[in-house]
Structure 1
Amino acid sequence: MQAGGLLQIRSGLGGAQAQRRPCGRPQAQELAAAKGVSLPEDFAAAAASGGLRAAVLDTYCKLASGGFLTSWLVKALPAFRDRLIADRLFFFKVWAEVAIDSACATVAEVRKRGDEFWSEFEFYLSDLLVGLVLDVVLVTLIAPVAQPGRKTAQAVSGLKRYLGGLPSAVFQKSQPGRKWGVGDRAATYVKLGLEYSLAGIVCGFIGQGLANSIMLLKRKYGGASEHDVAVPPLVRTSLVWGMFMGLSSNTRYQIVFGLERLVDETIARRIPAAAYFTTLVIRFANNVVGGENFIDMARWAGVQ
């Protein structure tokens, strides 16, 4: 779903179609009230300053008056709300990523570690926990974000303004008034690579620290075993997570985004259910490759 266009909506009062132009604050509040929802503060500000996009308002009203979980999330978390408005499959993609990655990571770990799986169980646990957090980070950072209205001019540096105007993903579709060239898309790849690397380092440090603590406690109270492996270096392991996220994950998820966009603009227009099926298939293949890739990278770096 593209939230940038100004689509027609129904007012709920008279059933007549609203105009395609942005809604002013009184009109936006009236339409939201007719749907039984309150207008978020940032939406109200957008409506007052330049007009709230009709498509954004209509989609928000549908989400806010929908199921309990979705309704609560869009009201409580603006970051989740804006991504779900821009992409109707955002929530499904987060769920699919977490579920598929957990299963694929387990299969990949068992396959790669073989007979040493149980003696290296702490590595598996650390990889799984860190992976679950990073799954949400990966899907969230690369997801398109809905713009409620016209952007107001802000006193920000040239670099910050430039970075804020980049697409959310390398293969995001250009929109009216927002055209991105090859240089912009290359800059997006670098920007997301740095963000993914930072997330990987932080989560890797926490996850490996937990795994190391479990290893030391098990050996302290359970005794040493001939199958025990050396406790991995904490800092080096977190740096490996950063390298893996910035290079492998960044590249793979850009490709995933591009393939999903291709499906959305072709097959899914005729068969909407195809978008869900292909998302599962694409992300399953991506996680199989990523799970084995991380183990190989960790062993290459000498941390596992």
Structure 2
Amino acid sequence: MQKVGVGPSELPKDLQEALARGALSGADVLLWLRVRAMPVVGWVCQHWPAFRDRVMGNPRFLRVLAVEEVLGCTAKTIAEVQTRGAKVWEELDFLASDLSLEIIGDFAVVWLLSPRRNFQPLPTRRLPMALAALPAHCLQVETFSVGQRVATVALRGSQFFAVGFLSSLLGHGLTVYLVHAKRDRRDAMREEARAEVRAGHGGAAARAAASAEFGEDAALAPVLDNSLGWGAFMATSANVRYQLVNAFEERFLERALSGRAARLAATCVLRFSNTYLGSAMWVACARVAGLQ
């Protein structure tokens, strides 16, 4: 601590405790000082220890998170605009709902598979100890047994299912609610216009609204069925694809490419390809399951 010119009191409380246990090295302190000095990220890390642990334990975390969010939100926005066409401005609530869930989902995927630096005491109970010893993804570079790597696939699958199920339950449920709310409001306005026409008070606009015919609303998959389907897809396809992507980045890209710009470009290409493949696979699976 004297070599780096920092007193223990300047460290966060959990890092002070790690220092007292001998679990915090001088390199960790230097890394923390660099992280703390980063604009915005440093402030987040000071107030969110779990985020700090991933930033300190995975040099790719911030880059991957930024790439995943930008690609996911861009692709989602383009798809929403193309699908909704001229009605996009009328349906901004739908777009905002879908986009917010995209942001949450992309964050969860990166978060769950990121290695982290753990400054907490090791658990003493058997199950928490076993879970804490698992790799972040099944092919993480370090010494792990085959059983631990297989267990990681199963654990991440259950976590991905939970993320997919809950996000779809919220997002698809909100979409269904908005669709029914718009339909009820439209029907109420039409009935009001018809009442004005019958009473002889309505003008041309009221007569047009009263006689307007609307096409049938697109059928929406049941909320529970769609949520179970999306959760299952996340637990299987997304789980395997994202674990392989993380392994490729860690084992190949970090070693084969030395420049920051080259690694960023390669990460963008790799994750865009994964996003595109996943979108195509979901459409195919959803159609087979009768959800679309």
Q: TM > 0.5 between the two? A: yes
Judge conservation of contact 2:72–2:103 (CA < 8 Å) in 1. Answer: yes
Query: 1 CA distance for matches of 2:170 and 2:80?
Result: 20
Letter in 1 for 2:3: S
Match of 1:40 in 2: 12
Judge conservation of contact 1:108–1:288 (CA < 8 Å) in 2. Answer: no
Query: 1 CA distance for matches of 2:275 and 2:141?
Result: 25
TM-score with structure 1 setting the length: 0.77
Match of 2:47 in 1: 76
Query: 2 CA distance for matches of 1:140 and 1:122?
Result: 27
User: Deviation per CA, 1:118-148, whole angstroms, max 9, x where unpaired?
Assistant: 7x99987765443221100000000001133
Name which of 147, 162, 169 aligns with 1:205: 169
Q: Does 1:155 align with 2:118?
A: no
Letter in 2 for 1:277: A
Superposed, which structure 2 residues align to 1:1-304 within 5 Å?
A: 11-13=3-5, 30=7, 38-67=10-39, 69-107=40-78, 127-148=98-119, 152=121, 154-156=123-125, 158-174=126-142, 179-223=143-187, 225-268=214-257, 270-304=258-292
Query: 1 CA distance for matches of 2:178 and 2:239?
Result: 30
User: Deviation per CA, 1:7-54, whole angstroms, max 9, x where unpaired?
Assistant: xx99344xxxxxxxxxxxxxxx52x67xxxx21111111111224122
Gap runs ≥5 in structure 1: 1-8, 14-28
Cα distance change of structure 1 residues 161 and 100 upon mapping to structure 2, 3 Å threshold: same
Q: State the identity as a percent.
A: 29
Query: 2 CA distance for matches of 1:60 and 1:190?
Result: 33
Aligned-partner SS, 1:266:
helix
Query: 2 CA distance for matches of 1:210 and 1:300?
Result: 24
TM-score with structure 2 setting the length: 0.80
Match of 2:207 in 1: none
Query: 2 CA distance for matches of 1:124 and 1:49?
Result: 50
Gap runs ≥5 in structure 2: 188-212
Cα distance change of structure 1 residues 211 and 125 upon mapping to structure 2, 3 Å threshold: farther
Judge conservation of contact 2:254–2:263 (CA < 8 Å) in 1. Answer: no
Q: CA deviation at 1:108?
A: 5.5
Judge conservation of contact 1:125–1:211 (CA < 8 Å) in 2. Answer: no
Cα distance change of structure 1 residues 218 and 81 upon mapping to structure 2, 3 Å threshold: same
Q: CA deviation at 1:238?
A: 0.9
Letter in 2 for 1:46: A
Q: CA deviation at 1:195?
A: 0.6
**Greater helix proportion:** 2
Query: 1 CA distance for matches of 2:184 and 2:16?
Result: 58
User: Deviation per CA, 1:172-204, whole angstroms, max 9, x where unpaired?
Assistant: 110xxxx20222111101110001101111111
Letter in 1 for 2:249: E
Q: How many residues align?
A: 266
